[in-house]
A and B are shown apart, each in its own frame.
Chain A
Amino acid sequence: MKNSTRRTITGYAFATPWLIAMIFLIGYPFAASLYFSTCEYPPLRGPLFIGMGNYQELVQDAVFRQSMMITIVFAVVAIPLGVLLALTLALFLNSRIHGRSVYRVVYYLPHLVPSVAVAILWMWMFNPDFGILNVALSPFGKAASFLLRPFAAVALNVPPWVGLVFVIAAFALWRWLKKKAIDPRSVALIQTRRLTFGRWSEKGFSIASRLTALVFVIAIVFALALWLNPIDLAKIQSPGWLTDANAFPSGLSAAPSWALWALIYMSLWGVGQMAIIYLAKLQDVPVVLYEVADLDGANWWQKTRYITVPMISPVILFNVIMGIIGAFQVFTEPYIMTSGGPEDRTRFAAMFIYDQTFQYQRLGYGSAVAWVLFLVIVVLTLLAMRISRERVYYAAR
């Protein structure tokens, strides 16, 4: 027997368990669910081919549309917040201070609590009557309510789209000034600009671009605040959390409901694990990069923005993609805490599939929903990779 043939046989022998799993536990279910999605499938009889019937039905299913919407809104809000929080935490935990290992353990501990216990614990935290969260947050709620009062007063007279115009205008201005501030194209251009705007133009543009960046952030807050109603200011002080189906801010119907905000808040509690991953990556960033930056007189923000973040960007992208897949599998928390309520405002996609499959015994319909879900995940993942293509740095390997 030839050596390579023998190697191939041995290789496949070693891969056999996994081949079996790939065929029977992944490949077959994957293909079968595609077939089932085109079938009416009462569990006691066999599958009955009905073509695109399930898909036509789910386009018109309001609960399905809402559950898809909720899942996407959750992903869009919770993932960036989570990444931002984890990154900030990792940066702080990476500083050389006393007791940092204690902090690391403290921030990591929540991740160890099993999800069922997390769900029950947070039901108790969010309890509107006796929960500790509203007690602990009440000073912050009062402060926020006080700060937002002028916005809410303005909001009564100004339509919300004005805020969007502000945001877009501020963004455009910021980018324009930034381009002016660091336009490396040619010395001649800089010369011309000096002639036009005077010799302080470089510095002036750079300061102006930073100021407009600030204006941009304020414009976002302002735009969001324009959807506030006076009732939100009252609610912010003592939210009903899981029991409240109303959107916040209440003028924007696509915004998460209070119940969904509660689940988003809860998801941020487990962010310590992500922070530990970032931390490990931060420690892999070559020190020499920072030393060079120090020589160039870079400040802390510049080092973070132009060295740290790019160096760990692959992990951030990985976390975002895992977060997207994870958002479409959120099940335990809404199942235990809200059973999808109030008013289906926390009926996540995975829960919708579970209900259709095991509560209503509609295996075909459940499979169709699962496939739509899969396609959405693929599209979102590709989108995330596409957007980040030029922003993610892969070290040469």
Chain B
Amino acid sequence: MSTTDKPTRWYMAAPIHGILLVGAVFFVLPLLWMIATSFKPLEQTLKVPGSVKEALFGIGHRAEIGGLVYDVVLERAITPSVDDPYWIVRPLEEFPNGEMTHPFGPETWRKYPIFNQDELKRMDTIITPAMEVLADRKTPYNEETGILSLLSGRGVKAELVKTLEPAEDGEQLWLVREWRPEDTDTKEIGSTAADPTRAWAVLPESSIRESIRSIPQNYPAALKRVNFWRSFLNTMFVCVMTVFGVVISSLIVAYGFAFIDFKGRETLFKLTLATMMIPFPIVMVPTYLLYRKLGWVGTFKPLWVWSWFGSAFFIFLLRQFLLGMPKDLLDAARIDGCSELQILWHVVVPLTKAPLAMVALFQFLGTWRDFMGPLIYLNNTSQFTLSLSLQAFQSEHGGTPWHLLMAASTAFSLPLIILFFLTIRTFIRSMATSGLKE
């Protein structure tokens, strides 16, 4: 707050740091939460984080099953008692998983609610004699007859591996199942619950360790879902066309306004400024009808053709810069017999590189973020820009796969953030200039 050149003393600086830091936490929190969520497994997004560690990182569990250490999911708590007995058995004949419920049964289904018809079919794995299954009160195993009663009412022969006893010190037992990174894609989750190749076991709580579970695999899954590369190319196409269009046309018009003294120039310039006041919804309907008459709806043309005719704000901005240029330079070029276009190209352009970069950056940002334009004019998914693809993915799922949505959002924002750090000087300068019109 001091405006002189001496640095602020520490006792003044400390409270300023304090306030700025608290503010920064609230400004960074959403970004942090976006990135943190994008690396989490699905099950972590469906609970309130209990600790800072859990909020920042995905937390999972690891456990040893049959001598190998696996990442596991705690499927459910198991509390064996006389009323609620459990057995681990090995069937002696084949039967479809659908007839047996555990461990691949309704309990898991309720946990992963996103299923479609195909996945339900895939859950009908055949249980073969090599596999172990968990039997409980609903699908009891009779130790004397060696018969496992399935949910369908049928009985199959099975041999007992183990009868689960309650732990002596009252420790909780858990049914754990091997977890793999690809489980993060919600579409695949149904099949993972039914996957007979996954290791599983019933383990006491003390043998299960907590571990950080960060999954970059969310990104490929999310990018595939939003059709990222296709949308990226579409977005880039529109961005490049509008950036070149706006820079070239606005510079030409601004040159006219700044250096050529023609009749009606002032009126025209004032009119240009006035057009900036017109909100988009006013011109939306007739513009749409105009483009429809031209047959452009459903193509990229409505999104970029306008830019080749100039943009009021940029014309204004560039004119202000050009007015600051020394006039003698132009006059010298005129005396040398240069035409106006030659002056523009050989004298003005080399001197206005910085403002031109600024305009390009502005327009790039604007086009990259634009949502309403693509929403109105594009109707074919293969033409969708990133904004539209992301919105389509979101509305299709109503917002359950937050980890994938956050991964896609991060990927969508990242190019702009990289661009920002690459061009930080131009950037800050241009942002500051956007408020300078008076």
Chain A residues in the interface with B (C-beta under 8 A): 4, 7-15, 17-22, 24-26, 28-30, 32-33, 36, 89, 91-99, 103-110, 112-117, 120-125, 127, 129-130, 132-133, 135-136, 269, 272-274, 276-281, 285, 287, 290-291, 300, 303-304, 314-315, 318-319, 325, 328-329, 331-332, 336, 349-350, 353-354, 357-358, 363, 366-367, 370-371, 373-374, 377-378, 381, 394
User: Chain B 50-66 against A: per-residue CB contact (8 Å), 1 yes, 0 no?
Assistant: 00000100000000000
Query: What residues of chain A lie closer than 8 Å to B405, measured between beta carbons?
Result: 120, 124
Task: Given A92-B16, A107-B27, A278-B435, output 15 extra A-B contacts at Cβ < 8 Å.
Answer: A7-B260, A9-B262, A10-B256, A25-B309, A30-B282, A32-B289, A92-B19, A92-B20, A97-B8, A112-B413, A113-B413, A123-B399, A130-B48, A269-B30, A366-B284
B412, A22: Cβ atoms under 8 Å? no
How far, in Å, is A352 (CB) from chain B's closest CB?
9
Going nearest first, the 6 A-B pairs with the smallest beta carbon separation are: A11-B262, A14-B256, A280-B432, A277-B435, A21-B309, A29-B283
Against A, the Cβ 8 Å flags (1 = close, 0 = not) of B367-397 are: 0110110001000000000111011001100
Contact: B435 with A281, CB < 8 Å? yes
Point out the residue from B33, B256, B288 that lies within 8 Å of A15, measured CB to CB.
Answer: B256
Determine how close the nearest CB of chain B comes to the CB of A200; give it in whole angstroms. Answer: 32
Q: Roughly how many angstroms separate A367 CA and B283 CA in the complex, as a whole number?
A: 9
Report the Cα distance A18→B23, complex, angstroms.
43
A8 in contact with B262 given A92-B16, A124-B402 (CB within 8 Å): yes
Q: Are B8 and A95 interface neighbours, CB within 8 A?
A: yes
Contact at A17–B253, with CB atoms within 8 Å? yes
CB neighbours (8 Å) of B256 from chain A are: 10-15
Q: In the assembled complex, which residues on chain A have CB atoms less than 8 Å from the CB atom of B277?
A: 325, 377-378, 381
What are 21 A-B contacts defined by CB distance under 8 Å? Answer: A10-B260, A15-B257, A17-B253, A18-B309, A25-B306, A25-B309, A112-B365, A114-B386, A116-B388, A120-B405, A121-B33, A136-B26, A136-B29, A273-B431, A274-B435, A287-B3, A329-B279, A350-B279, A350-B280, A354-B372, A370-B279
Expressed in whole angstroms, the minimum distance between the Cβ of B386 and any Cβ of chain A is 8
In this assembly, does B265 line the interface, its C-beta being within 8 Å of a C-beta of chain A? Answer: yes
B282 and A370 within 8 A (CB)? yes
- A104→B424 CA distance, assembly (Å): 11
Q: What is the count of residue pairs linking A and B with beta-carbon distances less than 8 angstroms?
A: 291
Query: Do the beta carbons of B30 and A106 come within 8 Å of each other?
Result: no
The answer to whether B252 touches A95 (Cβ under 8 A) is no
Also in contact, A287 and B279, with CB within 8 A (given A29-B287, A108-B431): no
Q: With A114-B368, A373-B281 in contact, is A106–B28 under 8 Å at CB?
A: yes
Residues of B within 8 A of A14 (CB): 252-253, 255-256, 260, 340
Interface residues of B in 293-350 (CB under 8 A from A): 306, 308-310, 315, 340
- What is the chain B residue whose CB lies nearest that of A112? B416
Assess A22 versus B30: contact at CB under 8 Å? Given A17-B253, A29-B290, A336-B391. Answer: no
Given A300-B1, A371-B282, verify A21-B310 contact (CB < 8 Å).
Answer: yes
A106 adjacent to B1 (CB under 8 Å):
no
| Interface majority SS (helix, strand, loop, mixed), chain A | helix
Could you tell me how many residues of chain B have their Cβ less than 8 Å away from some Cβ of chain A? 100
Least CB separation from B268: chain A residue? A15
Complex interface: chain B residues within 8 A of A24 (CB): 290
Look across to chain A and name the residue whose beta carbon is closest to the beta carbon of B251.
Answer: A14
User: Which of these, B263, B285, B387, contacts A116 with CB under 8 Å?
Assistant: B387
Closest-by-CB residue of A relative to B3 is A290
Q: Can you name the residue of chain B whose Cβ is closest to the Cβ of A293?
A: B3
Contact partner of A97 among B17, B275, B289, CB < 8 A?
A: B17
Determine whether B261 belongs to the interface, using a CB cutoff of 8 Å to chain A.
Answer: yes
A348 to B382, CA, bound (A): 30
> Footprint of A on B, CB under 8 Å?
1-8, 12-13, 16-17, 19-20, 23-24, 26-31, 33-34, 37, 45-49, 55, 249, 252-253, 255-257, 260-263, 265, 268, 271-272, 275, 277-290, 306, 308-310, 315, 340, 365, 368-369, 371-372, 376, 386-388, 390-391, 394-395, 399, 402, 405-406, 409-410, 412-413, 416-417, 420, 424, 428, 431-438
- Identity of the chain B residue whose Cβ is nearest the Cβ of A34 in the assembled complex: B282
State whether B272 touches A18 (Cβ < 8 A).
yes
Chain B residue nearest to A278 in the complex (CB): B435
Q: Are A93 and B435 in contact (CB under 8 A)?
A: no
A17, B282: Cβ atoms under 8 Å?
no
Name B341's closest neighbour in chain A (CB-CB).
Answer: A14
- Please report the C-alpha to C-alpha distance between residue A349 and residue B8 in the assembled complex, in whole angstroms: 47
Q: How far is the CB of A297 from chain B (nearest CB, A)?
A: 15
**Does B412 lie within 8 Å of A26, measured CB to CB?**
no
Q: Which of B1, B47, B402 is the one whose CB lies under 8 Å from A92?
A: B1
Q: Is there contact, CB below 8 Å, between B282 and A269?
A: no
Interchain CA distance A291-B4 in the complex, whole Å: 8
Q: Give min CB distance, A32 to chain B, whole Å.
A: 4
In whole angstroms, how far apart are the Cα atoms of A115 and B412 in the complex? 10
Chain B residue nearest in CB terms to A94: B1
Whether A26 lies near B275 (C-beta < 8 A) is yes
- The answer to whether B55 touches A28 (Cβ under 8 A) is no
Judging by beta carbons under 8 Å apart, are B3 and A285 in contact? yes
Q: Are A129 and B369 in contact (CB under 8 A)?
A: no
Report the bound CA distance from A133 to B26 in whole Å: 9
Chain B's closest residue to A26 (CB) is B275
CB-CB nearest in chain A for B428: A276
Inter-subunit contact B376/A358 (CB<8 Å): yes
> Do A366 and B285 contact each other (CB < 8 Å), given the known contacts A108-B431, A325-B277?
yes
For the complex, what is the distance from the CA of A112 to the CA of B31, rounded to whole Å?
Answer: 11
Assess A33 versus B285: contact at CB under 8 Å? Given A106-B27, A106-B28, A125-B33.
yes
Known: A29-B286, A124-B405. A279 touches B16 (CB 8 A): no
Find the B residue at minimum CB distance from A23.
Answer: B309
Q: Is the CB of B306 within 8 A of A21?
A: yes
Complexed CA–CA distance, A353 and B286 (Å): 13
Task: Kindly identify which residue among A8, A125, A280, A377 contacts B263, using a CB–CB cutoff of 8 Å.
Answer: A8
- Residues in B whose Cβ lies below 8 Å from that of A29: 282-287, 290
A127 neighbours in B (Cβ, 8 Å): 402
